[in-house]
Amino acid sequence: MGVIGEGEGHGGISLLHALGAGYGCSIGVDLSTKVRLRDNEPGKGADDPNGVLAAVVDVWVEAGLEKPAEELFWQVRSSVPVGQGLKSSAAVSVAGIRALCAATGVVLENTDIVDLSSRAQLASGVSMTGSVDDAWAAVEPGWKVVNPNLPAAEGVILQDIFPKPEEWKVLIVPRGDRELLPDPQRFAQMSPQFEKAISAIEQGGVLVSLTENGRATANALGDGQGRRLANDLLVWGARAAGITGSGPAIAAFVPAYNESTLRRIIQLCEQRGHETLVTDIWSE
């Protein structure tokens, strides 16, 4: 038969890091992963080095849902950089679950998709917390502050859409391969710094939260270079900037109307040897 199901999930950036803040919060951006589910082997297999899609199938079966075929094969097309803190694992797991839904006719609520995505990320070893907030950002627009220790249907504490997303551009500086791995103890020690990010988002200060969370994350990782670059982005004209996820990528918000500022920031990053990626906030 060939293709029996397709699905999509979005990438995102962090507003709260669950390891340090105790609560997670991410917001989706206009980068996505699309997968095709097949019942025959394609010429080129999926690039899934962490085995997230295999874990998706495992948690699907563990949930009592039927596989659409005995042998399943995947194809992946993605604009989400991998291993950068841009939620690529959440995006591919959500896309895989949606492809399984399409192949079987199973209808799942978004809360169910988030729970399955979280289990798959834990099972594959790509997440320490389950990345519930990342899965929410991959499933639907807007942001949610979540308790990662509760089921998705019960764990949303605060939520909102991003106001006037068309007025902003999201600048991403990937910074190469990940070298610094998160240490839960160091993140816990930085909890007073993460409190600033929590307080900001409670007051509706999404951009402030991104910056404060990024600073606390940089300190928890010992990433002095990342913190300095984020500060430089602010000096150069960004309205918010900080490490996303556990890095190494830095995300910044620049007013969309100020094209000259955006061009200058890109040029200055390139002069320092950094590639950049410009995208939008995901909205419907």
- Cα 84 from chain centre: 9
CA dihedral over 231, 232, 237, 238, signed as positive or negative: negative
Q: 23 and 122 share a domain?
A: yes
> When comparing pLDDT for 46 and 220, which is higher?
220
Summarize the confidence of residues 249-278 as an average pLDDT.
Answer: 97
CATH number at residue 175: 3.30.70.890
Q: Is residue 284 part of a domain?
A: no
β-bridge partners, 212: none
Q: 148 and 222 share a domain?
A: no
Q: Is residue 117 part of a domain?
A: yes
pLDDT of 251 above 80: yes
Q: 179 and 145 share a domain?
A: no
Q: How does residue 1 score in pLDDT terms, banded at 50, 70 and 90?
A: low
Q: How far apart are CA 215 and CA 223, in angstroms?
A: 9
Three-state DSSP class for residue 75 = strand
Summarize the confidence of residues 84-107 as an average pLDDT.
Answer: 97
% of residues, the chain, pLDDT over 70: 100
For the chain, what is the domain count? 2
If phi > 0 it is left, if psi is from -120 to 50 it is alpha, else beta; for residue 203 that is alpha
Q: Is residue 82 part of a domain?
A: yes
143 and 163 Cβ atoms separated by less than 8 Å: no
pLDDT of 167 above 80: yes
DSSP state of 165: G
% of residues, the chain, pLDDT over 90: 90
Summarize the confidence of residues 206-225 as an average pLDDT.
Answer: 97
- CB burial string 157-171: b at 16+ within 10 A, e below: eeeeebeebeebbbb
Q: Is residue 37 part of a domain?
A: yes
β-bridge partners, 243: 250
Q: Last residue of a domain, which of 141, 160, 179?
A: 160
Q: Is residue 50 part of a domain?
A: yes
Q: Give residue 258's domain range.
A: 165-279
Q: 156 and 183 share a domain?
A: no
Q: How does residue 100 score in pLDDT terms, banded at 50, 70 and 90?
A: very high
Residue entry with tokens 């982005």:
233
Q: 29 and 147 share a domain?
A: yes
Q: How does residue 91 score in pLDDT terms, banded at 50, 70 and 90?
A: very high
pLDDT of residue 185: 94
What integer best gives the mean pLDDT of the chain?
95
Burial (CB count within 10 angstroms: exposed 0-12, middle 13-18, buried 19+), residue 85: buried
Q: How far apart are CA 145 and CA 31, in angstroms?
A: 21
Q: How far apart are CA 123 and CA 117, in angstroms?
A: 10
pLDDT of residue 215: 98
pLDDT of residue 248: 97
Q: What is the H or E stretch that residue 194 is in?
A: helix 191-202
Summarize the confidence of residues 148-167 as an average pLDDT.
Answer: 96
Q: Is residue 239 part of a domain?
A: yes
CA dihedral over 68, 73, 78, 82, signed as positive or negative: positive
Q: pTM of this prediction?
A: 0.95
Q: Please compute Rg for the chain using Cα positions.
A: 18
